[in-house]
């Protein structure tokens, strides 16, 4: 059972917009800790996609954007492309556990 | 650009000790948390712990009694030892680097991961 909750799967057609939500609590996201997102392509290791809630590392397309509100965060992908099909993970810090925590991951399928 | 590479046995017997090493290059030892993360088959990521250049460590509470992370600066390498393993420890183990920015940090570089199976 992950501390952060993500839907197991989402899907969308090429060109569409999808949003992946990451729900936490008052001891992590709700406490103001940054949320970060990772993209894990099939058979590869996770890659940093968004950090500090909404900052894209160099080389990440601006089709990817992040936001945070209250005890939740979200990752939006616009103009879906086949290459976006991957597992997406959110991550934050939990002050009750005093550790970094992840969501269970969301599989994005491009129809 | 920091690069990391895990190495170690892919098969460990139950009750024995899992030992992995991560060799890194291209990064500043002093400004990083050198981290281990694992991913059981079909499940999400789980942070295991980190070591800082001054030797300070931090571990996930439920694993603390079984885990030791050490750093060998002469070899640009850090290691994970996990004792008394069970089938529940079967996972892909990743080493990663996080900028030493405190609780708000993130994992900016990852190794390719190594699958460790616990089985007799």
List, for residues A20-39, the tens digit of each pLDDT value: 999 999 999 999 999 999 99
d(Cα A91, Cα A43) in Å, to the nearest integer? 20
* Band (B91; pLDDT cuts 50, 70, 90): very high
Asked whether residue A8 carries a pLDDT value surpassing 80, the answer given is yes
Q: How many CB atoms lie within 10 A of CB A67?
A: 14
Question: Which residue does chain A place closest to B95, by CA atoms?
Answer: A45
Chain B residues in contact with A44 (beta carbon < 8 A): 112
Q: What is the pLDDT of residue B101?
A: 86
Q: Among partner residues A47, A97, A102, which is closest to B45 by beta-carbon distance?
A: A102
pLDDT of residue B22: 97
Mean predicted confidence (pLDDT) in B17-42: 92
The alpha carbon of residue B58 is apart from the nearest alpha carbon of chain A, in Å, by 8
Look at residue B27 and tell me whether its pLDDT is greater than 80: no
**A45-85: pLDDT as tens digits:** 999 999 999 999 999 999 999 999 999 999 999 999 999 99
Smallest CA–CA distance from B93 into chain A, residue:
A45
Please give the pLDDT value at position B102: 86
Question: In chain B, which residues have their Cβ closer than 8 Å to the Cβ of A52?
Answer: 104, 106
Residues of chain B contacting residue A2, judged by C-beta atoms under 8 Å apart: 44
pLDDT at position B110 over 90: yes
Phi/psi at A95 (5° precision)? -80, -20
Nearest chain B Cα distance for residue A3, angstroms? 10
Please, what is the average pLDDT of chain B? Answer: 95
- pLDDT, residue A104, reads 96
- Determine how β-strand B114-118 pairs with β-strand B91-99: antiparallel
- What is the nearest CA distance from A75 to chain B, expressed in angstroms? 16
What CA–CA distances, in Å, run from B70 to A108, B51, B56, B75, B79? 36, 7, 9, 12, 5
């Amino acid at each position: 059972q992950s501390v952060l909750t993500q839907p197991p799967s989402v899907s969308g057609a090429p060109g569409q917009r999808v949003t992946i939500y990451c729900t936490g609590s008052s001891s992590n996201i709700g406490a103001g800790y940054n949320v970060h997102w990772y993209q894990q392509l099939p058979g590869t290791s996770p890659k940093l996609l968004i950090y500090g809630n909404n900052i894209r590392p160099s080389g990440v397309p601006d089709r990817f954007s992040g936001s945070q509100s209250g005890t939740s965060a979200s990752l939006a992908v616009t103009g879906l492309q086949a290459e976006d099909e991957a597992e997406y993970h959110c991550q934050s810090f939990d002050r009750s556990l005093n550790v970094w925590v992840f969501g269970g991951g969301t599989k994005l399928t491009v129809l | 650009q920091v690069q990391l590479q895990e190495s170690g046995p892919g098969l460990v017997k139950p009750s024995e000790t899992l030992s992995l090493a991560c060799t890194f290059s291209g990064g500043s030892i002093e400004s990083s948390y050198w981290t281990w993360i694992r991913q059981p088959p079909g499940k999400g990521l789980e942070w295991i712990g980190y070591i800082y250049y001054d030797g300070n460590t931090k571990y996930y509470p439920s694993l603390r009694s079984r885990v030791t992370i050490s750093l060998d600066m002469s070899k640009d390498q850090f290691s994970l030892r996990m004792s008394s393993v069970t089938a529940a420890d079967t996972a892909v183990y990743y080493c990663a680097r996080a900028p030493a920015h405190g609780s708000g940090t993130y994992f900016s570089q990852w190794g390719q991961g190594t699958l460790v199976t616990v089985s007799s």
